[in-house]
Structure 1
């Protein structure tokens, strides 16, 4: 952030390279090291699993086109929140911020932190799985460390993101190279009758897509920091259109490498497919893989913190959350209260949570609001076709995205109905009970004034304004 005429603004410090690293670094996390066995388990065959990975990347690439158009029309930070607010009003936007801040964003951070902690603790417990308490304490420590990094300085957070992104790209290239060598040596048994055993039922296909989409999650994160991107009308589309196809190619090739080294049964029985691959292919150098997972996941959590704090900050700035969360530290110029709040909720979710459940709930919630965001772009195209657009997506593509996103919400519920989905939906609707008295009738402002002033003095923070230059 920067100070101009006595006001605090988000500072434009994210260039093209940092923008690419933010997307790639957030997308490549624990998913590609943990989800492949689950995709294969749900879909039943190697050929179909590769199609799922390719299709997931294609959907995210097309979805990014829509977000580019939205980001160049509405040049504000906040991602889905700001797009829903500007098109459907305060109540739907509040429901998004309510669900995102209290469930979706902390759930993603908690899931990745648990994965990170599992790999950090594993070397100390070679003969048995790490105790749950150790894993959760390590996950909480990682959340606090990354939260502090993001609270200290924007450049520090983006610098760490860039370094870890290059490290994780190198680790994936090692796996890809190893797979190419194996294929040239004739390790192609997994690709013979590649589609035999494919499960085509709607439920398993939907769950396979959920796992695949989890691994690609982060494709939309740049839209959360639009106000901090230099020349967003140029760098936003460039960064998205470079990053997502790159990650898609890497993910498909990594899965090919896994299948070259392991049979489908071995892959499905592996508790950590990347580690199994490393033991089979790298021998005494197998330690590189657990280290790569740690670096990859740490970078992904850092990226989620960076963008998640901005989402919370923008929602508060627009009146959907307490004013204190829209303030910035007057010296460090970071959205410190929003970052601290996200960290607090993520820590709470780590305590009772487990990786698999959190992934399923996160994906279900995320695609509900992606659907609403695609509907927002359709509305803009129909009602405000005169708005200047430096990047345009055909109407047919928007309809396709809306159908796909709604399908990704409904297929897991139809194919594998669970009471937890009902609880999440009820939690979302319960936000209306908060919205009406505290936001619509502004009772929140009255009740929080003294607390806000106290926290301003304690934390040395002040209100920040939007930077739309």
Structure 2
């Protein structure tokens, strides 16, 4: 391997499939449990899916502006560095490197292994081993090169839509289903404010992944034109799909049944399609989860590379190596894979996902604010794209972000503390590398 520049191999189609393929991963198939468990009623649960989509689209419309101003490999890390300073750019990269990407890959690997174990009636003891093998396999596929991993992502994105479309159509036509299952709106046992907040946290894991396409901007041939389209178009598709499939779920099962199972989509599939049909749908769900892992791997392995090229990591020379044969930063992928394996050993899917959302939304919210700061400090900078309805859209995104962060601090203080400590653990690393470089 040698030091080098990443080539502009990422097309608009690959970028779109990274958005859709990464966002539609495991969340839509497994998070209804947490959503309707927190909401306590179908109406409030559906509202959480809708608001989560609105916040995400408002966020996508906002971030697309700063993404086209600074279309460089690294995404959010570059945005925050340009606006707030190098220290914050490093800190978001650090958080992505040790928490966000490893936890996403680890959580999805656990879900993948759980579904495999259930499908083939294997022992629960096999779940951890299957999850580790799956995570390793995904990373090895990415080490083969961006073109190969991009093709895998495109294929997985297309194939994962099959079980979703089938469930939507069959669910809406399910005998006995109807709007009655979409009511009541709320439950006396679940306060609306905190219930909606916890349900929203769960939906945002299902919507998560859209901002990762920014890490590929430096490898796009025309990011100013491509990036806004793939973010906005991809998220609009995802929101429509999520709302339709949740209505289909509720036509088959009531919200208490969805809240009471760890595999809600598989349970719905078993009701809709007995025997082999249910297993085929479950296999489609596995493809979707695998595609989600691949999407996170495509983006994640570039974060240590970018930090290393700026000499902001110990052993930067090692992290900045790019494979001469495949032009992929393999060493960064090995590091993220190692942390993923450690997280897989915990076996805690929901804790990992809640931790991910809290940590990443701190930085995402700061990115929304950065767009407004740039409008004041650099009004004349070239903007290939401007967020529409400014400042309304950015303010919606910012308010949504603060709500998510504060709700986690109140409802899940342990996760908030753990996420904060892991993120701040990067400060000594930053100071060490800064002094060393000086």
- Quickly name the TM-score band, shorter chain normalised: over 0.9
How far apart are the structure 2 equivalents of 1:14 and 1:351? 34
Q: Could you tell me which of 133, 136, 153 is aligned with 1:161? A: 153
Per-residue Cα deviation, 1:350-373 (whole angstroms, up to 9, x for no partner): 112410110111111011111121
- 1:342 shift after superposition: 1.1
Q: Name 2:50's counterpart in structure 1.
A: 54
Instruction: Name the Cα RMSD after superposition.
Output: 2.0
Q: Name 1:423's counterpart in structure 2.
A: 418
- 1:23 shift after superposition: 0.8
- 1:259 shift after superposition: 0.3
Q: Name 1:381's counterpart in structure 2.
A: 375
Q: TM-score w.r.t. structure 2 length? A: 0.94
- 1:324 shift after superposition: 2.0
- 1:319 shift after superposition: 2.4
How far apart are the structure 1 equivalents of 2:425 and 2:13? 41
How far apart are the structure 2 equivalents of 1:441 and 1:10? 28
Contact 2:44 2:196 in 1 (8 A): no
- Is the alpha carbon distance of 1:401 and 1:123 closer, same or farther for their aligned partners in structure 2, counting shifts above 3 Å? closer
Q: Which moved more, 1:427-436 or 1:363-372?
A: 427-436
Q: Could you tell me which of 359, 364, 371 is aligned with 1:365? A: 359
Q: Could you tell me which of 94, 97, 100 is aligned with 2:96? A: 100
Matched, 1:345 2:336: no
How far apart are the structure 1 equivalents of 2:229 and 2:428? 41
Matches within 5 A, 1:29-428: 29-125=25-121, 130-131=123-124, 133-182=125-174, 187-195=178-186, 197=188, 199-284=190-275, 285-321=277-313, 322-393=316-387, 394-414=390-410, 416-428=411-423
- 1:167 shift after superposition: 0.5
Larger gyration radius, structure 1 or structure 2? 1
Q: Which moved more, 1:24-33 or 1:95-104?
A: 95-104
How far apart are the structure 1 equivalents of 2:177 and 2:404? 37
Aligned residues: 433
Q: Name 1:466's counterpart in structure 2.
A: none
Q: TM-score w.r.t. structure 1 length? A: 0.88
- 1:198 shift after superposition: 8.0
How far apart are the structure 2 equivalents of 1:280 and 1:419? 37
Contact 1:203 1:412 in 2 (8 A): no
- 3-state DSSP of counterpart to 2:322: strand
- 1:196 shift after superposition: 5.3
- Is the alpha carbon distance of 1:7 and 1:41 closer, same or farther for their aligned partners in structure 2, counting shifts above 3 Å? closer
- 3-state DSSP of counterpart to 1:283: coil
- 1:97 shift after superposition: 1.9
Contact 1:274 1:289 in 2 (8 A): no
